Amino acid sequence: MIKNAEKRIFLSSLYIGSGESELISALQDALARKSSLQLHLQLDLNRSTRPGKSSTAKILLPLLRSYPDRVHVSLFRSPSLRGILARLVPPRYNEGWGTWHAKIYGVDDELIISGANLNESYFTNRQDRYVHFKPHPALANYCFDFLKTTSTVSYRLLPAESAALTTTRTPSPSAHPYTYIQEDYAVVWSDQDTHPHYINDKYRQALIEFQSKARVESASSKPTPTPTPTSTPTNPNPDPEPDHVLLFPVIQAGQFNIREEQEMFELLFRHLGRAAPRGSGGSGDGDRPLLDLTSGYFGLSEKYQDLVLGCPEVDVRIVAASPKVCVCKRLLRLQRHLWSNTRRIHLPRATVHGCCSASWEEWAPSPSSSPSSASISVANTSGNDTGVVQLCEWEKEGWTYHAKGMPLALPNPNFKPVLTLFGSTNLNSRSAELDTELSFVMVLPSPSPVPESESEASSTSDGGNSNSSLDKTKTNTNTNTNTNTKSDPERETPVEHLRKQLAEEVQRIREDSKEWKEESGR
């Protein structure tokens, strides 16, 4: 992608690893080859300025010195850590008050959305998810504009000798709240009218306006038309091509009171609960939805725990890193006992080797065939129905696990996932309350039966690259996803019903946005 860049490269990550000389060289070559090429980087300040010779800030200096007018590095710093505490908390630990965590890798109109950082281990032996979008101007512009919006409340990284620097030398961020020099680089605050510790209201309003504008523009765009079917009372809008999908960007920035991811989960569970047929509690029903939740740092947000436990109509399977492949060893005890401590639920260990490319049966071995399986029933205080929650631990020799996301499907190998969440969120309390995250909900076309031999896993693949059917999906962010086939309401599954409800809700959003745009233009 970088080698073919013509106009812009925009990269967003927590940091860039010290060993990424190949990446830096590729960026250098691209800038040298194309004189009009612009490079935009959005990173986390605290993580990128850790002390040491190989910090992200230092490895970017050659690019900044060679192309000062074409390389733009923005560093986001959480405003939650300020005052005397900011002076006392040492590096590394200061990242605990929130980070910039979005993972976007764009070149011109081509995109990769991931949960991976730009570090050697992610390119070699750390399992993660990557969803590649071929040139899609609307989606690329959305992500680029999101980064530009954040850059207005971020610091700029410059060489210390840069002529743009207008402040005096100070030893640390706490000594001067706006700009400081650290050895051979400078960190310059971009908005002299706003104190960097008090950006909450400004950034929140900027994100709200950004999302509102994006929704109006998406609603105003006409979906690709198809000749059939015609409008009917039950299907008031012509459907797009059957291979089109819906893509919903969701921003979660809890410290700025932006909680779109949380609202999405609440909407999803509410729809699943309403759509489930009566008496569908317990396992074994062929039409019960199966929701997979996975994260390398398993510590499901308490609000998400409440949603899982409060919706017995849905079976839930949690895939987390086993002790051997956990990126952060300190989380192991939390991972193994979190739910048993908070909900009095015992989740015995069930190791699933190669689960990301396995069939549904290998993903979730049944209790009767595998004594190590972790299928349990969770009591529901609102009734007698029960849902199944299963904990699986991912393990592969020589690898670590960092994948994250949420596929939703029927527990049947003949059907592909119908909905998935992918992006930067770890689904934990930190992601919900402290970090700034960007993820996407992808609603796929209605599933159709395929031979068992062709069934694919709903998550990631062996070997560190996404092998999901999502990677092969033609994407159109402006299309409706009503199915082209008339369904029998009595035989409609909860997931099919959910897709129909989501499609109707999207259409209402489009109509409301169009009406709002017309009124605002008067």
User: What is the tens place of the pLDDT at every residue in 478-517?
Assistant: 333 333 334 455 555 555 666 666 666 655 655 555 554 4
Whether 58 is covered by a domain: the verdict is yes
Nearest residue to 466 (alpha-carbon basis) of 6, 132, 58: 132
Whether 426 is covered by a domain: the verdict is yes
141 and 256 in a common domain: no
d(CA 442, CA 445): 10
- Three-state SS for 476? coil
Q: Which residue has the higher pLDDT, 467 or 259?
A: 259
- The CATH number of whichever domain residue 426 belongs to comes to 3.30.870
Mean pLDDT of 47-51: 92
Mean pLDDT of 397-403: 87
Q: Could you list the residue range(s) of the whole structural domain that residue 426 is in?
A: 243-478
d(CA 517, CA 83): 43
Q: How far is CA 501 from CA 222, 237, 394, 514, in A?
A: 20, 14, 34, 20
Whether 231 is covered by a domain: the verdict is no
Whether 147 is covered by a domain: the verdict is yes
Does the N-terminal peptide bond of residue 229 adopt cis geometry, omega within 30 degrees of 0?
yes
Mean pLDDT of 207-231: 67
Q: Is 248 left (phi over 0), alpha (psi -120 to 50) or beta?
A: beta
Instruction: Look up tokens 């610091």; give the residue.
Output: 155
Contact between 167 and 178 (Cβ < 8 Å)? yes
String of DSSP letters for 482-497: --SS---GGG--HHHH
**Residue 70 predicted with pLDDT over 90:** yes
259 and 193 in a common domain: no
Q: Which residue has the higher pLDDT, 354 or 387?
A: 387
So what's the pLDDT on residue 167?
52
294 and 156 in a common domain: no
The string of pLDDT tens digits covering residues 95-130 is 999 999 999 999 999 999 999 999 888 888 888 889
Instruction: Look up tokens 């899982």; give the residue.
Output: 308
The string of pLDDT tens digits covering residues 286-318 is 567 888 898 887 788 889 999 998 888 888 888
Whether 427 is covered by a domain: the verdict is yes
> What does residue 53 show for φ and ψ, rounded to 5 degrees?
-70, -20
Whether 520 is covered by a domain: the verdict is no
Whether 220 is covered by a domain: the verdict is no
- The CATH number of whichever domain residue 78 belongs to comes to 3.30.870.10
**Residue 68 predicted with pLDDT over 60:** yes
Nearest residue to 409 (alpha-carbon basis) of 421, 420, 423, 425: 420
Residue 464 class from Cβ within 10 Å (0-12 exposed, 13-18 middle, 19+ buried)? buried
178 and 281 in a common domain: no
Under the banding of pLDDT at 50, 70 and 90, the label for residue 27 is very high
So what's the pLDDT on residue 243?
62
d(CA 194, CA 192): 6
Q: Where are the beta strands (DSSP E) in 340-475?
A: 351-353, 375-378, 387-395, 400-401, 406-409, 419-423, 436-443
247 and 200 in a common domain: no
So what's the pLDDT on residue 24?
94
Q: What is the mean pLDDT of the chain?
A: 73
Domain count, the chain: 2
d(CA 482, CA 284): 28
Mean pLDDT of 210-234: 59
> What does residue 46 show for φ and ψ, rounded to 5 degrees?
-60, -40
319 and 247 in a common domain: yes
Whether 439 is covered by a domain: the verdict is yes
370 and 287 in a common domain: yes
